[in-house]
Homo-oligomer: A and B are copies of this chain.
Amino acid sequence: MTDTRTDNWGRWGADDERGTLNLITDEGVLAAMQVCKTGKVYSLSLPIQQEGVPIFDYRGAPRRYSLTSASDKDPYAAFGAAPGVGSNEDMLVFASHSITHMDALSHVFTDKGIYNGFPRDEFSTAGGAPHCDIRTTGTFAGRGVLLDLPRHQGVDWLEPGQVIDSAQLEACAEAQGTEVRQGDIVLVRTGWLDFYATGESGFEQPGLGVDAVKFVDDHEIAALGADNGAIEVIPFDNGVFLAVHIALLVERGLTLMEHLKLSELAADGCHEFFLSVGALPVTGAAGSPINPVAIG
């Protein structure tokens, strides 16, 4: 199933905004349900809060503010509500790419543009992305596969800065007995969130190197997630800035999900599951926080 193409621009038409999610078929979705064995429901999102979760400074910590509460003194009394009746509500303020999130295909651009050649500078201050906003890729489901690299390599977590290549991914899949199929959603566990939890983590993170793109091409996967902050290794492989994002997101139109909480699936040894993702369909947004749901 080797693909010699180096990008998917035009592969699904000049207007395509779905990228590799086109590889998921309705039949594939039905088939994906057959892998479930326990019916256990997993949330793959970290809590959204200000502390104890990985935050990039320029994005700021996510904030919840109270909008209404019992401090409002029977706010509905004027509408005839019984004494004591009211509601608690919140305002949420956070970056679209904060904590557990999905990149829309408009997220990264190069001098050639975003995925499928849409213009580099069409993302506007007022309106955001006119093409490839999060609505076009935010809802999907299919067969999920966990590649648990730390378990395979016999460590608690991969080392910060450790480069993951195709051979390691293949070896892990084989050792697990997990076949990776066209249209799969592959989740790579590096153990980074466990290392983060120790309070010892810094700038460097383990992640995919450029060689790992071959794995994506060979298996024609539909989407890729990881428990680290950027899918790819930091510092960037060979020092090329965003090298893997450019190869996968921009050139191939591959949907990426970051900071996934994969520890429970790993603890259960659940390497195949049904996965559904419903990102917030924010018009014009280049990403969204997500809480993917896996069924074991």
B125 touches A125 (CB 8 A): yes
Q: Which of B67, B92, B112, B124 contacts A126 (CB 8 A)?
A: B67
Contacts A72-B124, A241-B76 given; indicate if A65 touches B65 (C-beta within 8 A): yes
A-B contact pairs, 26 of them (CB 8 A): A25-B39, A28-B39, A29-B39, A30-B38, A67-B96, A71-B71, A76-B242, A79-B241, A80-B241, A84-B109, A85-B108, A85-B246, A87-B108, A88-B109, A88-B123, A89-B95, A89-B96, A89-B107, A89-B286, A90-B282, A90-B284, A92-B92, A279-B291, A280-B291, A281-B291, A293-B293
Q: Which of A232-279 contact B (CB under 8 A)?
A: 239-242, 246, 274, 276-279
B67 touches A69 (CB 8 A): no
B281 touches A293 (CB 8 A): no
Q: Which of B80, B84, B87, B128 contacts A66 (CB 8 A)?
A: B128
A295 touches B70 (CB 8 A): no
Contacts A33-B36, A82-B241 given; indicate if A65 touches B91 (C-beta within 8 A): yes
* Residues in B neighbouring A92, C-beta threshold 8 A: 92-96, 280, 282, 285, 288
A69 touches B295 (CB 8 A): no
Copies in the complex: 4
Q: Which of A14-61 contact B (CB under 8 A)?
A: 25-30, 33, 36, 38-43, 45-49, 58-61
Q: Choose among A62, A88, A114, A282 the residue with the greatest number of B CB atoms under 10 Å from its CB.
A: A88
- Beyond A63-B91, A89-B96, 14 extra complex contacts between A and B, CB < 8 Å: A29-B40, A30-B39, A48-B281, A49-B284, A60-B63, A62-B282, A66-B126, A70-B121, A72-B124, A72-B126, A82-B111, A88-B109, A90-B97, A125-B125
